[in-house]
Amino acid sequence: MSRPEYPNLDIVPVAQRIAPEQRQRILDNPQFGAFFSEHMVTIPWRQGVWQRGSLVPFGPLTLSPATSSLHYGQAVFEGLKAYRHADGRIFAFRPGMNAKRFASSARRLAMPELPSERFLEAMEALVREDRDWIPSAPETSLYIRPLLFATEAALGVRPANEYLLVMFSSPVGAYFPRGMAPVNLWISTEHVRAAPFGTGAAKCAGNYAASLEAQALAKTMGCEQVLYLDAIQRKFVEELGGMNFFMVLRPKGSSGSAPLQELTLVTPDLSSGTLLAGVTRDSILRLAPDLGYRVEERPISVDELQEAAQDGSLCEAFACGTAAVITPIGSLASAKMKVVLNGGKTGAVTQSLRDQLIGIQYGQRPDPYGWMYPIQ
Ligand code: COI
């Protein structure tokens, strides 16, 4: 069935919705990525063009074992969230940025780029149809997962001739099972995530697969996440694989109570092309100066981290991403060192940035940046 508000989509909803009590039981404790809402949007790409898409019941896909993305990894994805505000209105956070990054990830993997209007149309149709799946408890939201992969059944190693976009959603709570508790990072010297001119800046499936062995190793060291170093010198901090990294510095020799304007947030710059340009990272770089902090995008060496931890100028560090929002880092460890940050507790700067970002996302604080995208 076509609807005028969705010029490129057929809308075929489920015949019978889930019972409200059953849905509510899920929304009361959604976890992260464990449950899925009732619909998905699919848009095929064939004969060189994006076809008409459909919103259909969420369910399995039928694929040939020869589906080329299963073999050669032409698969990119995104992650964005929709929020229910206290007055019942619904907003997505900066979906245009995800649409653009989705297209640039696809380009890097020689896949077709979905135009932003089609991305936003699919996202709005999905969120409207599944609006009852947006939880309302603090720190919960509807996580939207767009995925594009090669569907052509062919074993030649070349860009496929057929692709499918699938966009579905999942009601979520905190990404880490311990919620906002600080996480411990393992600085990996044995694994690298991305090399210059590789796919580090693309949100592609292979980058995440490549991170899992290091993550398993980190776990044996008592760490939840891996902090990756640059591939060439193994000297500069890059990112955590699924999250970007920030540190908070106060002037050397200053006491624990340095004024706000003397605190600097530092995050690795994107010039090497090996880091994912996070939407949350970008948002923090814009929010922080308005909260009185200085910001710097520049290389951060492990030596600098270690020295700053020793002389007390490294007061806090945090990880950020759509899923993790802003998660404090309690300690950094490697084969050679271990530093505990801010006594292993959430620092005031991390907390203030988190409160501001979440305040905007949940409509409790003004949004002077125009980031919230209304979904009527
Ligand atoms: C996100 O924050 O959306 C991520 O990509 C992290 C992870 C769930 C893949």
Region of poorest pLDDT, from 84-88, 152-156, 256-260: 256-260
- Residues 281 and 279: their CA atoms lie apart, in Å, by 5
When pLDDT is cut at 50, 70 and 90, the band that residue 285 belongs to is: very high
Kindly give the distance from the C-alpha atom of residue 49 to the centroid of ligand 1, in angstroms, as a whole number: 28
Domain 183-361: give its CATH code. Answer: 3.20.10.10
pLDDT tens digits, residue range 348-373?
999 999 999 999 999 999 999 999 99
The domain 9-173 having CATH identifier 3.40.190.10: the answer here is: no
Q: Is there an atom of ligand 1 within 6 Å of 347 CB?
A: no
Q: DSSP letters of 147-173?
A: EEEE--B--SSS--S-EEEEEEEEEE-
Query: Which atom number of ligand 1 is nearest to the Cα of residue 323?
Result: 2
Kindly give the distance from the C-alpha atom of residue 326 to the centroid of ligand 1, in angstroms, as a whole number: 12
Region of poorest pLDDT, from 8-12, 126-130, 308-312: 308-312
* pLDDT(260) > 80: no
In this structure, the residue with its CA closest to atom 7 of ligand 1 is: 242
pLDDT tens digits, residue range 67-100?
999 999 999 999 999 999 999 999 999 999 999 9
pTM of the model: 0.96
pLDDT tens digits, residue range 223-249?
999 999 999 999 999 999 899 999 999
Kindly give the distance from the C-alpha atom of residue 103 to the centroid of ligand 1, in angstroms, as a whole number: 17
* pLDDT(8) > 70: yes
Q: Please give the backbone phi and psi of residue 150, each rounded to the nearest 5 degrees, phi first.
A: -75, 130
Q: Within the chain, what is the greatest distance between any pair of CA atoms?
A: 67
* Mean pLDDT, rounded, for 211-230: 96
* pLDDT(256) > 70: no
Q: Domain ranges in the chain? A: 9-173, 183-361
Percentages helix, strand, coil for the chain (3-state, rounded to 5) are 25, 30, 45
* Mean pLDDT, rounded, for 148-156: 98
pLDDT of residue 184: 96
The rounded mean pLDDT for the chain is 96
Kindly give the distance from the C-alpha atom of residue 275 to the centroid of ligand 1, in angstroms, as a whole number: 14
* pLDDT(136) > 70: yes
Which helix (H) or strand (E) segment holds residue 207: the answer is: helix 205-209
pLDDT of residue 54: 98
- CB-CB contact of 168 with 36 (8 Å): yes
pLDDT of residue 241: 84
- Pick the closest to residue 244 from 274, 206, 204 (CA basis): 274
Q: Is there an atom of ligand 1 within 6 Å of 322 CB?
A: yes
Kindly give the distance from the C-alpha atom of residue 208 to the centroid of ligand 1, in angstroms, as a whole number: 10
pLDDT of residue 4: 83
Q: Is there an atom of ligand 1 within 6 Å of 279 CB?
A: no
* Mean pLDDT, rounded, for 261-286: 96
pLDDT of residue 67: 98
* pLDDT(255) > 70: no
The reply to whether 9-173 and 183-361 are identical in fold is: no
Q: Is there an atom of ligand 1 within 6 Å of 278 CB?
A: no
> What are the tokens at 93?
């956070």
